[in-house]
Each structure stands twice: as structure tokens, then as C-alpha cells.
Amino acid sequence: MIEEGSKNLYADLDCADADVMQRKAMLVMRISDVVSAKALGLAQASALMGIEAFCLEAWLKGHFRDADETVLHACLHRLEVQLH
């Protein structure tokens, strides 16, 4: 039997912090979209955001559980501001 899930994979997996993880995932997706659209390398993108390249690389690989949501917001904002 196939069951349709919700719009939040983390909730479907019964994660305790499902809403927070969903928001973080959306922020990382937006960061990834901007980096890809502007054809930025890790070093260039991370410098624009004010973070280490290994940190950005980890986020883009899905390792953002320990990332602070406020930091992700700030990084996305810095990236967007620097490119406009």
C-alpha cells in the first residue's frame, strides 16, 4: 500500500524538531539555488556569506541539523545582497 506523505518529510519520519528541520532544509535549498544560478564555487560563495567553505559544503550535502536557523538566514541574506 502506498501512502501519501505530508509536505514535511521530517514530520513523516517523526522527527521531534520537524518544523525547524523543514525550515532549515528550505533555507539550504535557497542557498544552493543561488550558488548554482550564479555559478559560484564553494570558496567564492562561502566568502560572500562569511563562513568556511567546509561548512557550506556540509550544508549542501544535507548536514545542517546542527546549523543555527538564524545563521542560515543571515548567510542567505548576505549571499543575496552581495550578488544584487
Task: Let me know if residue 21 belongs to a domain.
Answer: yes
Average pLDDT in the chain: 94
Which pLDDT tens digit goes with each residue over 9-46? Answer: 899 889 989 999 999 999 999 999 999 999 999 999 99
Instruction: State the angle between helix axes of 18-37 and 53-60 in degrees (0 to 180), rounded to the nearest 10.
Output: 110
Query: Is 74 a residue whose pLDDT tops 90?
Result: yes
Question: What pTM value is reported for the model?
Answer: 0.90
Task: State the SS3 of 12-79.
Answer: HCCCCCHHHHHHHHHHHHHHHHHHHHCCCCHHHHHHHHCCCHHHHHHHHCCCCCCCCHHHHHHHHHHH
Task: Let me know if residue 1 belongs to a domain.
Answer: no
| Euclidean distance between CA atoms 84 and 65, whole angstroms | 29
Q: What is the CATH number of the domain that holds 66?
A: 1.10.260
**Which residue range is the domain that position 27 belongs to?**
15-83
Task: Let me know if residue 8 belongs to a domain.
Answer: no
Domain count, the chain: 1
Of residues 84 and 59, more confidence is placed in 59
pLDDT at 6: 85
Task: Let me know if residue 9 belongs to a domain.
Answer: no
